[in-house]
Amino acid sequence: MRLFSKISLNRLRSGSIVGEKGDHIFLVPPFTPEVAASVSLISTRLPLRADERSRMLCQMEANGMSEREHKALEPLFGKMPKPQRVLEIGPGFGRSVVYFSKKGVWDEGAEIHLYDSTGTETKYKQEYYDRPPQWPDVSSFCGQLSLLRSFLDYNHIAGYRIFDAAELPLCKLPGTYDLIYAFFSIGFHWSLEFYLDDLNPLMGKNSVLICTLNKHFKPFARLRDYSTRILYCRDTKKRAAPLRLLALSKGELPGVGITLAEAFPGSKL
């Protein structure tokens, strides 16, 4: 799951990424050679090394993207009951779960499940989007589970449970969940339509699924079976178009953001 864009430290220091105060909610531990190598596999566009400069670059960019996602989703979260059971698909090294936990998106006693696997390569190209590998082939995962645990512990996050995708298919997770989210994984690098059958049994009537959509996303007919909204999220890339976040539910969603038809004129949905 790609989390970063190539960017200079000068721009990061200016506050254009982490905001005026430069608040670092997600903390990155010292960049050992092992940490730098694992993060580089996830963040393919950043020139990361085992040094303090790379650690700060990683920390600033992770906070910047998380801040933007949280701000974009605040109107939705504000009209939802706080989730008691949460699933993140493709957490990488845990920036989102740390940020959302510390921001109080869910209460301290919430049950947090994280679904990922340890990988050795990235498959981010569009050619993998429509037909990613099927389970038990987990070669599309590029995480590092030991790294994820160490980052969560470093940020004092407790009460989480990690499920290794190499051992359990997505559809067999112990749902249902109140909130499922996938930033820069399903919906962005891999087709939501492809995974919808696996996600459906994890969702109850009022569950909410959120995912980042890539620029090539096209609405598909099965989305008519769900309530959907589109919320826009500022990208960390300079002059980049806003990212689109899809919210999907079997029940009625709050009237935040815009409709799918408004976001994709001519889609006939």
Give per-residue pLDDT as tens, 152-186.
999 999 999 999 999 999 999 999 999 999 999 89
- Average pLDDT on 109-127 reads 76
Of 69 and 139, the structure prediction assigns the larger pLDDT to 69
Lowest mean pLDDT among 12-21, 81-90, 206-215: 12-21
- Look at residue 17 and tell me whether its pLDDT is greater than 60: no
List the structure tokens of 240.
């980049």
Which pLDDT band holds residue 42 (cuts at 50, 70, 90)?
confident
- Kindly provide the b/e burial profile for residues 191-226, where b requires at least 16 CB atoms within 10 angstroms of the residue's own CB: bbbebbebbbebbeeebbbbbbbbeebebeeebeeb
Type and span of the H or E element at 96 = helix 95-102
Start-to-end CA distance of the chain, whole Å, equals: 28
Phi and psi for 264 in degrees, rounded to 5?
-130, 75
Domains and CATH numbers, the chain: 66-263 (3.40.50.150)
Mean pLDDT of the chain: 86
Query: How many Å apart are CA 200 and CA 37, to the nearest integer?
Result: 35
Instruction: Give the pLDDT score at 44.
Output: 65
Instruction: Give the pLDDT score at 118.
Output: 85
Instruction: Give the pLDDT score at 41.
Output: 75
- Look at residue 120 and tell me whether its pLDDT is greater than 70: no
State how far the alpha carbon of 219 is from the alpha carbons of 103, 233, 266, in Å: 31, 19, 10
Percent of the chain with pLDDT over 70: 83
- Average pLDDT on 259-265 reads 94
Which pLDDT band holds residue 10 (cuts at 50, 70, 90)?
very low
Instruction: Give the pLDDT score at 9.
Output: 39
Lowest mean pLDDT among 58-72, 94-108, 141-155: 141-155
State how far the alpha carbon of 208 is from the alpha carbons of 33, 68, 116, 254, in Å: 38, 19, 20, 11
Closest by CA position to 116, among listed 91, 135, 97: 91
